[in-house]
Structure 1
Amino acid sequence: MGDFFSSLIYPFELIVAWIMYGFHSALTAIGLPAANGWTWTLSIVGLVLVMRAALIPLFVKQIHASRKMQLVQPEIQKIQAKYKGKSDPESRQKMTEETMALYKETGTNPFASCLPILVQSPFFFGLFRVLNGLEGIASGDRDPIGPISRTLAAQAESSTIFGAQLSEKFIGADSVQVQLVTVVLIILMSVTTFTTQYQLMRKNMPASALDNPFAQQQKILLYLFPIIFAVSGVNFPIGVLIYWFVTNLWSMLQQFYVIRRMPAPGSKAEAAMHERRARKGLVPDTPEQRHELEHDKEMAEELHEKVSGQRQQPKGKKRNKKK
């Protein structure tokens, strides 16, 4: 099983190694020391930037999937209320069938929001294996990974930030600096993740989507993630924790931008956006803004029409022009 996992992850190790090597070469070309910990740290940051930029199309799909999930929550609640208290297999099966039929009818995919995480996971483990194997490559006990030669591995393995080596972990560390840097990174990871989830739930969810099992699950995850980071973070090299933190920071800033500029229909963020525009005396004056508002309205109307079976009456051209 271990050999199968290694062969499965190895292509991602190569991609990670080449991206880090490319950034490291560029940074040393502009004068940064090759064996310096900050040079390798910036190479890891560069890896995050490349990865997250490549995932932007998936993130856009995730936004639309999340909005659809929010809009169909009232209908899902009706299905759940219909079978409330019925625990027999037949009723549970019917409830599942009706829920899946609703998802199919409205084009909603409850798992679409997981796509960016799933795509990132192999690269995360690839980075873990690259950093974990630096000592073996430097000593000659392990074969080089792509461009990471013995010389580069020795440089990366011995490089430090705040006195802690990038390849060291909290578990088994003899240095206080390693433990301190690990704890600080875990705290930063927890804060950025908490902030991302908190602003998503408090600002970018309509009131109808806050009182349902999906929202309750989000609340649980809000407080569960810091515990997960604390338990798992002590087992990862500092370089992986840096990758994790920068990824979370990207997600937080990206989410902040989306909530501010493209809020979900009916959410507090949408009301705040209209208030800001009203104070400035602005209306949607660019094609992008008009397209986004029209898209949100059309998506909400289309989903409402599908789940309720009621078609909205078309407006006459003259009446529409007056409006």
Structure 2
Amino acid sequence: MDNQRNLILAVLLTILLIFGWDTGMKYLYPEASKPRPAASAPAAPGSVSADPASGKPTREGGLTNAADQALEARDLATALSPAGRVAIAAPGLSGSINLTGALLDDLVTNRHTATSDKNSGANRVFSPAGTPAQHYAQLGWSGQGVNLPNARTVWAAPQGAKLTPQTPVTLTWNSGAGQTFTITYAIDEDYLITAKQTVANAAPAPIKVQPIAQLNRTDKTASVSTWTLHSGPFGAFDGSVSFKPNYKDVLEAQTVTNEGKPDWVGFTDIYWMSVLVPGQNAQGSDFRAIGNGIYLADLFYQPVDVAPGQQVTTETRLFAGAKESSVLDRYEEAGLAKFGHSIDWGWFFWFEKPIFWLLKALFKTVGNFGAAIILLTLIVRGIMFPVAQRQFKSMASMRAIQPKMKVLQERYKEDKQKLQEETMKLYREEGVNPLAGCLPIFLQIPVFFALYKVLTLAVEMRHQPFALWIHDLSAPDPLHVLNLFGLLPFTPPGFLAIGILALLLGFTMWLQFKLNPASPDPVQQQVFAFMPWMMMFVMAPFAAGLLIYWITSNLLTIAQQKFLYARHPQLKAMVDKERADVAAASKRAK
């Protein structure tokens, strides 16, 4: 009766895990499907007035509402007219500078496409003010008693100017009161733009101005933010990266003043970021919510006095683009503090980054990240092969002392503490380590978690194909059993999105368990029988690359077990006998 009760409990817990998994993931990985509270502050000029709750954030980020996407395409066609713009052409970025306001509001990444379709065009990073995907950078000054340029100021540029790594561009505006303002933009081969703000005072009296740099963006294009992957405002202050606050915190507070000297400040999505890197005399920074889902990252400099006949220049660098690990590390080596840590690797970055490095090295060799994941699995299993041999030796030793264990259990069945003492004494005398069988599993957990983080975070893995129907290793298997592998026009919920890879995972795990010794406990037998299929449901929503790793690991484990059984036939005979004994006992129990 106890066994039946335990079996029913195990089945109920399994069902709860399977059907509760999707709910739990939505709780831990919210998709912001609830409407956001309305901000009390009035909307800034040029802010988007569409419903900020339309569409749900995704891992990719970007507009998800069809109406917003159509409006964005229409607005871009109008806003990006060549008239009144200076073209940007660099290996990493393309786009243009808006002469009205001297805004950097049109940037796309040349090395990354918008979707997995290679013909989908470059992924857009910045969009002009007023478009649904509004995101731009603005440089300026504040002060009193001075005629200053603003967002409506039309700047002058040299005829035929184009911003390239070889040709900086200088924009000029004259106040009409003796001051000349200039902004000189320079761009490198990747994603870094350097801006020098200069004010020259030809008036007879001194002036005081405060240089300011600002990022303006909507949260409608934000990627999904989770407890393990931050998306939203962030920065580095006093040499330490802070992945906070989130958009909700800024919305509630209206203004969040950052503590410490800003090394850089801005916004991050999972794959992209835009940050301002101050030059000298930075005073502070903050984040602001100005309504309608629009947020600002502000960078303030110390006010400066400009004497007659003098000029003052302030330098600010802007990073806007993909969070490519090698590029970020190179910028950090060049002096941008903690730039390589702008990727949210978490506490285990010391292990995750080497795994990523190895994966990239394998990719350079084979030219396919799916094949690189398989090779990574082979390397990991090869390193752990000696451990597996010791595991099998320990398993054989454990089975050899089972008769002695049963004697101790009978002798001390009323004294649990004494039984534990005698059991540990027996282990020492026989040279048996009962935890040796768990060691390979524990050793694989860090590798599995590191690969999960790499597939989730690394833009280098984004849209990387493997073979056949797997066009993106960082996304779940796109073909599902319930929609007849894409023939029916609907997407099953996460816990029922069973694809070919999930089926292979369950099947290979079942084969692996079939080679293990049978448990004498009927309840444990049932749990092990359910486990492969339960994991099939649990793992189905994860990245395809992660399932490929696990399937390959299962196949290698099966091959390894068969090899070791061949080398230790006495252990194979022992396992077969135990299975036969357990099967006979089960028949007698019925």
Task: Report the TM-score when normalising by structure 2.
Answer: 0.35
Q: Structure 2: how far apart are the matches of 1:120 and 1:221? A: 22
Pairing 1:153-302 to 2, within 5 Å after superposition: 153-156=461-464, 161-169=468-476, 176=485, 183-201=499-517, 212=520, 219-220=525-526, 222-265=528-571, 267=573
Match of 1:100 among 416, 424, 437: 424
Does the aligned pair in 2 maintain the 1:260–1:269 contact within 8 Å?
no
Does the aligned pair in 2 maintain the 1:44–1:243 contact within 8 Å?
yes
1:181 and 1:164, CA in 2 relative to 1: closer, same or farther beyond 3 A?
farther
1:266 and 1:125, CA in 2 relative to 1: closer, same or farther beyond 3 A?
closer
Secondary structure, counterpart of 2:545 in structure 1? helix
Is the radius of gyration larger for structure 1 or structure 2?
A: 2
1:121 and 1:232, CA in 2 relative to 1: closer, same or farther beyond 3 A?
same
The equivalent of 1:26 in structure 2 is 365
From the two aligned structures, give the one with the greater strand fraction: 2
Q: Structure 2: how far apart are the matches of 1:223 and 1:17? A: 35
Amino acid at match of 2:531: F
Q: Structure 1: how far apart are the matches of 2:389 and 2:353? A: 28
1:83 and 1:231, CA in 2 relative to 1: closer, same or farther beyond 3 A?
farther
Does the aligned pair in 1 maintain the 2:477–2:540 contact within 8 Å?
yes
Does the aligned pair in 2 maintain the 1:20–1:44 contact within 8 Å?
yes
1:56 Cα offset (Å): 1.2
Higher relative contact order (CA 8 A, sep 6+): 1
Match of 1:80 among 409, 423, 447: 409
Secondary structure, counterpart of 2:542 in structure 1? coil
The equivalent of 2:379 in structure 1 is 50
1:234 Cα offset (Å): 2.5
The equivalent of 2:447 in structure 1 is 123
Does the aligned pair in 2 maintain the 1:233–1:241 contact within 8 Å?
yes
Q: Structure 1: how far apart are the matches of 2:473 and 2:375? A: 15
1:181 Cα offset (Å): 8.9
1:97 Cα offset (Å): 1.0
Q: Structure 1: how far apart are the matches of 2:530 and 2:452? A: 23
Does the aligned pair in 1 maintain the 2:462–2:474 contact within 8 Å?
no
Q: Any stretches of 5+ residues in structure 2 without a counterpart?
A: 1-226, 229-242, 244-343, 578-590
1:21 Cα offset (Å): 0.9
Q: Structure 2: how far apart are the matches of 1:219 and 1:189? A: 20
Q: Structure 1: how far apart are the matches of 2:349 and 2:523? A: 35
Q: Deviations over 1:68-123 (max 9, x none)?
A: 11111111111112234x3xxxx111111111111111111111011111111111
1:95 and 1:217, CA in 2 relative to 1: closer, same or farther beyond 3 A?
farther
1:187 Cα offset (Å): 2.2
Does the aligned pair in 1 maintain the 2:474–2:545 contact within 8 Å?
yes
Match of 1:71 among 395, 400, 412: 400
Q: Structure 2: how far apart are the matches of 1:161 and 1:238? A: 13
Q: Structure 2: how far apart are the matches of 1:56 and 1:65? A: 14
Q: Structure 2: how far apart are the matches of 1:181 and 1:54? A: 34
Give the number of equivalent residue pairs. Answer: 227
Secondary structure, counterpart of 2:362 in structure 1? helix
Task: Report the TM-score when normalising by structure 1.
Answer: 0.61
1:270 Cα offset (Å): 9.3
Secondary structure, counterpart of 1:167 in structure 2? coil
Q: Structure 2: how far apart are the matches of 1:6 and 1:15? A: 12
Q: Structure 2: how far apart are the matches of 1:132 and 1:224? A: 28
Q: Any stretches of 5+ residues in structure 1 without a counterpart?
A: 29-38, 138-151, 203-209, 272-323
The equivalent of 2:239 in structure 1 is none
Aligned-residue sequence identity (percent) comes to 26
Q: Structure 1: how far apart are the matches of 2:381 and 2:567? A: 19
Q: Structure 2: how far apart are the matches of 1:48 and 1:166? A: 15
Q: Structure 2: how far apart are the matches of 1:186 and 1:64? A: 32
Secondary structure, counterpart of 2:553 in structure 1? helix
Secondary structure, counterpart of 1:162 in structure 2? coil
Amino acid at match of 1:64: K
The equivalent of 1:14 in structure 2 is 353
Q: Deviations over 1:184-241 (max 9, x none)?
A: 2222222222222222327xxxxxxx7x55xx68634531321431242124211100
Q: Deviations over 1:249-269 (max 9, x none)?
A: 000011011112222358268
Q: Structure 2: how far apart are the matches of 1:23 and 1:251? A: 22
Does the aligned pair in 1 maintain the 2:427–2:433 contact within 8 Å?
yes
The equivalent of 1:111 in structure 2 is 435
